[in-house]
Structure 1
Amino acid sequence: MTTPRPTSSRRTRSRANGDGTVYQRKDGRWEAAGYVLAPGNTRKRVRVYGTTRKDALAKLTEKIAASNRGLPATAAYSTVSSYLAYWLDGVAVHHLRENTHTRYAAAIRLHLNPGLGVKKLARLTTRDVRTFLDGLRVTCQCCAQKRDAKRRRCCTIGHCCEKRLSPLTVTYVHAVLKSALQHAVREDELPRNVARNVKTTTPRPRRFQPLTAAEARLLLHAANGDRLHALHELALRTGLRKGELLGLHWEDLDLDGGTATIHRSLQRTRSQGLTVLHTKTLASERRIALPTECLSSLKVHQERQEEERQTAGTGWTDKGLVFTTPKGKPLDPTNLTRRSRHPLTLPSPLPSSTTEAPPETNSGWGFWIQGHCLK
């Protein structure tokens, strides 16, 4: 006598509808598949893999849970452009500083999207990346980005200016692509990071002519009457970065002990304007010894700032900063850079203690001195 087969009403489902399926492949790995939310408010089937059934199921459950929260999945079958948009605004934004995020966005908008954006992420190859980077090195960016289209200049009238990207910029674009694809590998969207297989030459650092100690002394002598003389003194004698100098607070200075604690930096961001942030890394936080000349300049600067405070009256903005505008507001780093590019009027006659020719101009911020710092 045969046993009757159970009817459909007696069958029990091992997994509920919408939970996906889990099965073992012929190669021994476990594969889980299910439907999740995709960009454009659509749904798509995703597949994840694991060494055990529990591992594969956990990965699928995580993706379905994120989909239920309204987060679209980053399909390997989507284009490079759509994946980069997801990665930039959904992943990188949470662990990058705002200015770094802005630079990443510019690299994606100006270079990665035009060059690789239409390609399918799953079909992106090492050759595609290498060809793209080689093209960046030889392509005029005015032509590629149509910068002269509105003004009808240069490249739009048949006279290519051949403005190419520097090797450092090409390396930066490559690094952004590698970071994005590496996240796709971590999320099991891609089996490998094809951008890491492309080797690029390390760009040579730009050569510059540093100031000698005699030239630096001339520069300080010329800036002796400037209200920011103490800032130039600190820059030349300690080598502090521009943002670190502008982010210094009086509470960071120990004028009696002769030390300064560096743990903040002033930066301009798109959303908050001028703001004081912590240094980029913990290694940048440090305490330095201040030379005697810096201590003297800072004490004079403190007295001058107090006079400016009394002159401004209620118009003074007290933020505790060492270097400010005459109204107490933070100094814009860009304005300081622009200001430092103007030539300084050197005294005549020159100090007899030096026989070297003075620098013609101060060519930019960062008064590099041969050796370490001005002694």
Structure 2
Amino acid sequence: MYQRKDGRWEVAGYVLAADSTSKRVRVYGSTRREAADKLAEKIADSNRGLPVATSDSTVGDYLTYWLGSVAVHRLRENTHTRYAACVRLHLIPGLGNKKIARLTTKDVRTFLDRLRTTCQCCIHSLDAERKACCAIGDCCQKQLSPSTVTYVHSVLKSALEHAVREDELPRNVARNVKAAAHRPRRFRPLTSAEARQFPDAARTDRLHALYELALRTGLRKGELLGLHWEDLDLTTGTASIRRSLQRTRTGGLTHLPTKTRASERRIALPTECIQSLKEHKQRQDEESETAGSAWRDSGLVFTTPTGGPLDPANLLRRFRSFLERAGLRRIRFHDLRHSTATLLLEQGVDLVVIKELLRHAHIGVTAGVYAHVRLRLQRQAIQTLGNALSPTDNDPDDPPSAAVVR
């Protein structure tokens, strides 16, 4: 341990690395005590068998360490699975052999450019077994979508950001690469006429209450499937959103916390939803009597005919079948949530109120997703102003009427 010329303190020690070998690490602090505490923390993790990243690790070694020792404790299981697939399929093949301490902004930019233009069928030999397409020299140009490239970039930034926090890197070089702008996924929410037709068309469906609740409240699919009867108070007309039902790779159908901490909330139920839920409860009681001993009392509001939890994938299939039977335009289930926000925005509800209702993390998310509606409202506002400025029969000398501008 010694003090550097720049005034910082430096201390070195040996710890367990990601490749199961012993590595010498150096940590820094503004004071002697701070540097010593940082090294003591790394040694304590090493003694518990947790590998510690080192500056001479490769990008592949560090990503493996980060996924297994850091991200696994901070991410939801499904998110961690997507991160792991991104690392395995793209980051390790493209950057895995480079030393993390020598990784440059140019390396990241070159990697992302190559990822945008390379045929994935060729690079992963997807047609090798059936000897077609790229395997016989007829490249199909199956490239990653811009949103996937952006996702890969974000995963790399998250991993390197942790390396900066652990003092393994002086800066996050991935943040210096500007992500290519891409158009967000287009969606076509229900129009006002379609939204009025939707509840009537769903009335004969077994999951009528679920569809109506999704449209009138904007709840997410997992939040709807995770509702318990104890979460509802049909007397006061409120619902507590506490959990989400998701299918995970290890646990199957599992109750997880809501998407974010802010998503855990209490909402007011529309009168129409209260009536639909009461009818749904009566139908569920009848199904319980019919099933007899085969009934599984899960306490869930929306279940299978035998009381078990509804699989999210099965719900999507049922929703598509319902749209076809009802002769409605085919939309995604998540578009019901978009429809809620779009209809509210068209009725003049403020963006801040919509953000709170949908529990978006930032107001920018709400504004960005529904930009197409804002443009239409801007046109209406301009037209209204045009009508106000058009010549009238009033005396031109009359002063304009007073108006409050907010």
Q: Normalized against structure 2, the TM-score is what?
A: 0.79
- Give the structure 1 partner of residue 116 of structure 2: 137
Distance 2:282 2:153 in 1: 50
In 2, are the aligned partners of 1:236 and 1:373 still within 8 Å (CA)?
Answer: no
- Give the structure 1 partner of residue 61 of structure 2: 82
Given candidates 45, 63, 75, the residue that maps to 2:42 is 63
Distance 1:118 1:309 in 2: 59
> What is the DSSP-based 3-state SS (H/G/I as helix, E as strand, rest coil) of the residue aligned with 1:276?
strand
- Give the structure 2 partner of residue 102 of structure 1: 81
Distance 1:44 1:239 in 2: 52
Given candidates 155, 173, 191, the residue that maps to 1:194 is 173
The one-letter code of the counterpart of 1:345 is: R
- Give the structure 1 partner of residue 292 of structure 2: 313
Given candidates 324, 341, 346, the residue that maps to 1:344 is 324
> How far does residue 364 in structure 1 lie from its aligned partner after superposition?
4.7
Distance 1:287 1:374 in 2: 25
- Give the structure 1 partner of residue 330 of structure 2: 361
In 1, are the aligned partners of 2:212 and 2:273 still within 8 Å (CA)?
Answer: yes
The one-letter code of the counterpart of 2:113 is: D
Distance 1:68 1:360 in 2: 60
Task: Judge which range, 105-114 or 131-140, deviates more.
Answer: 131-140
The one-letter code of the counterpart of 1:97 is: R
Distance 1:119 1:273 in 2: 37
- Give the structure 2 partner of residue 212 of structure 1: 191
> How far does residue 280 in structure 1 lie from its aligned partner after superposition?
2.1
> How far does residue 363 in structure 1 lie from its aligned partner after superposition?
5.0
Task: Provide structure 1 residue ranges, at least 5 long, that are not aligned to the other structure.
Answer: 1-21, 347-357
> What is the DSSP-based 3-state SS (H/G/I as helix, E as strand, rest coil) of the residue aligned with 2:301?
coil
> What is the DSSP-based 3-state SS (H/G/I as helix, E as strand, rest coil) of the residue aligned with 1:345?
helix
- Identity, % of aligned positions: 69
> How far does residue 98 in structure 1 lie from its aligned partner after superposition?
0.7
- Is 1:34 aligned to 2:3, yes or no? no
In 2, are the aligned partners of 1:238 and 1:373 still within 8 Å (CA)?
Answer: no
- Cα deviation, 1:285-315, whole Å, max 9, x if unaligned, reads 2222222221221111111100100111111
Is the radius of gyration larger for structure 1 or structure 2?
Answer: 1
- Cα deviation, 1:186-237, whole Å, max 9, x if unaligned, reads 1111111111111114433222222112213333333222111111111122
Q: Normalized against structure 1, the TM-score is what?
A: 0.85
> How far does residue 176 in structure 1 lie from its aligned partner after superposition?
1.1
In 2, are the aligned partners of 1:241 and 1:366 still within 8 Å (CA)?
Answer: no
In 2, are the aligned partners of 1:184 and 1:190 still within 8 Å (CA)?
Answer: yes
Distance 1:234 1:373 in 2: 18
Distance 2:195 2:233 in 1: 25
Distance 1:276 1:191 in 2: 40
- Is 1:299 aligned to 2:278, yes or no? yes
> What is the DSSP-based 3-state SS (H/G/I as helix, E as strand, rest coil) of the residue aligned with 2:12?
strand
> How far does residue 248 in structure 1 lie from its aligned partner after superposition?
0.9
Alpha-carbon RMSD: 2.1
> What is the DSSP-based 3-state SS (H/G/I as helix, E as strand, rest coil) of the residue aligned with 1:155?
helix
> What is the DSSP-based 3-state SS (H/G/I as helix, E as strand, rest coil) of the residue aligned with 1:88?
helix
- Cα deviation, 1:15-67, whole Å, max 9, x if unaligned, reads xxxxxxx1233444332222223344322222222333333333333333333
- Give the structure 2 partner of residue 372 of structure 1: 344
> What is the DSSP-based 3-state SS (H/G/I as helix, E as strand, rest coil) of the residue aligned with 1:344?
helix
* Structure 1 runs of 4+ with >6 Å offset: none
Q: Figure out how many residues of one structure are paired with residues of the other and give that number.
A: 343
- Give the structure 2 partner of residue 16 of structure 1: none
> What is the DSSP-based 3-state SS (H/G/I as helix, E as strand, rest coil) of the residue aligned with 1:372?
helix
> How far does residue 329 in structure 1 lie from its aligned partner after superposition?
0.5
Distance 1:253 1:224 in 2: 21
- Give the structure 2 partner of residue 158 of structure 1: 137
- Cα deviation, 1:83-126, whole Å, max 9, x if unaligned, reads 10001101111111111111110110111011100111111001
Change (3 A) 1:45 1:61: same
- Is 1:280 aligned to 2:282, yes or no? no
In 2, are the aligned partners of 1:242 and 1:366 still within 8 Å (CA)?
Answer: no
The one-letter code of the counterpart of 1:23 is: Y
In 2, are the aligned partners of 1:216 and 1:374 still within 8 Å (CA)?
Answer: no
- Give the structure 1 partner of residue 312 of structure 2: 333
Task: Provide structure 2 residue ranges, at least 5 long, that are not aligned to the other structure.
Answer: 348-406
In 1, are the aligned partners of 2:25 and 2:55 still within 8 Å (CA)?
Answer: no
> What is the DSSP-based 3-state SS (H/G/I as helix, E as strand, rest coil) of the residue aligned with 1:113?
helix
Task: Judge which range, 65-74 or 90-99, deviates more.
Answer: 65-74
In 2, are the aligned partners of 1:80 and 1:119 still within 8 Å (CA)?
Answer: yes
Change (3 A) 1:340 1:155: farther
Change (3 A) 1:256 1:77: same
Change (3 A) 1:156 1:65: same
> What is the DSSP-based 3-state SS (H/G/I as helix, E as strand, rest coil) of the residue aligned with 1:240?
coil
- Give the structure 2 partner of residue 182 of structure 1: 161
- Cα deviation, 1:265-294, whole Å, max 9, x if unaligned, reads 111111111112221222112222222221
What does 1:119-134 correspond to in 2, within 5 Å?
119-134=98-113
Distance 1:123 1:373 in 2: 49
